[in-house]
Structure 1
Amino acid sequence: MRVHQRKHAETRPPARHKMTGAGLLEVLVAVLVLGIGLLGVAATQSVALKANQVSAMRSQAIIESYGMLDAIRAAMPPEALTSSSARATFLAAYQLQRTCNASAGAAGTLAGNDLREWVSTLRNDLGEGACGTVACNPQSGECAITVEWDESRLPGGQSGNTLTIKSRP
């Protein structure tokens, strides 16, 4: 009699479940997800830079407006503080209709030099489209400084921006 050996499950060769490395499809999906993430980061950075540029221009307009008020305060003679007629005469020299021309203002006077320098600085700092107005009320002594500029050349910027600051010099 012959005895047959039974083949048990342990004696069978193991199935091939062992994989090494990543497949091409997994690598492509990982690169796609990474690329989309990096594009999102770049877009966010771009928006932040645009907003920063617009904010910087508005801050510069405020600085220039207060600079003009400070120039008027610095030039004001003491008698303009006590005499309304002296104040009216003094403030009349600082009146400036809306202008974008850096040569505005009476030549050879302190007021004219201040106004020319102010408009020139506006155009240098805020662009060639920047304009300025100085309107002072001789009775109250209040001056309104208006700055206009165009930030439409910036992505997301607007044209026709206006800032008016009122104060007594």
Structure 2
Amino acid sequence: MIVHPRNNAARPPGCRQMAGAGLLEVLIAVLILGIGLLGVAATQSVALKASQASTMRSQAIIEIYGMLDAIRTAMPPESLVSPAARAAALAGYQLERTCDAGVAGGDTLARNDLREWMKALHADLGEGTCGSVACDTGSGECAVTVEWDESHLPGGVSGNTLTIKSRP
């Protein structure tokens, strides 16, 4: 085995050869990486909250249109030409603001539709969800309102209300 002597003549005096990263450089790199990962986690949390709030709003819209479709489906054919028939059909779908899923029970199609709608609201938006249906029997326009609470979400607010008006 041949050992070659080091040639230190090419280097200026007092210079050391770098052998790798020191402990301080590694600690600084880990610190910067940790701060970056915390920033990514915080961004992910904000995005998740916004996504959940958007999902709840979309679900409220779906439920409102579901109720309007139920009213539209239950309208008798004569309601197209007879204001009295339209008024009688819409009168069954009147629902004062309520948060109780069982309050709208009854033996008519309208009462059953309202009860099932309130159950769906509670299942999709939470137990504190409230709803109301107000139909103007003269014009035939119905306003369906849903109120829900997002305060259980991080940074969520309570008292969200959405009303959609339509003529079934």
1:157 and 1:100 map into 2 onto residues whose CA distance is 20
Please tell me whether the aligned partners of residues 104 and 112 of structure 1 are also in contact (alpha carbons under 8 angstroms).
no
Matched with 1:154 is 153
Matched with 1:17 is 16
> 1:51: Cα distance to partner?
0.3
* Mapped pair 1:78 → 2:77: yes
Matched with 2:138 is 139
Matched with 1:108 is 107
| Offset from partner CA, 1:65-122 (integer Å, 9 cap, x none) | 0000000001100011111111111100000000111112241110011000000000
Q: Give the number of the structure whose alpha-carbon radius of gyration is greater.
A: 1
* Counterpart AA for 1:22: A
> 1:21: Cα distance to partner?
1.5
Instruction: Write the mapping of 1:28-39 to structure 2, written as runs, cut at 5 A.
Output: 28-39=27-38
| Offset from partner CA, 1:6-32 (integer Å, 9 cap, x none) | xxxx69x95452121211110110000
- Number of residue equivalences: 160
Please tell me whether the aligned partners of residues 99 and 131 of structure 1 are also in contact (alpha carbons under 8 angstroms).
yes
2:87 and 2:103 map into 1 onto residues whose CA distance is 20
- Identity in percent: 73
> 1:48: Cα distance to partner?
0.2
Matched with 2:121 is 122
* Counterpart AA for 2:52: Q
Matched with 1:69 is 68
* Counterpart AA for 2:54: S
Q: After the TM superposition, which segments of 4 or more aligned residues of structure 1 sit over 2 Å from their partners?
A: 13-16
Instruction: Write the mapping of 1:83-94 to structure 2, written as runs, cut at 5 A.
Output: 83-94=82-93
Gaps of 5+ in 1: 1-9
TM-score (norm 2): 0.91
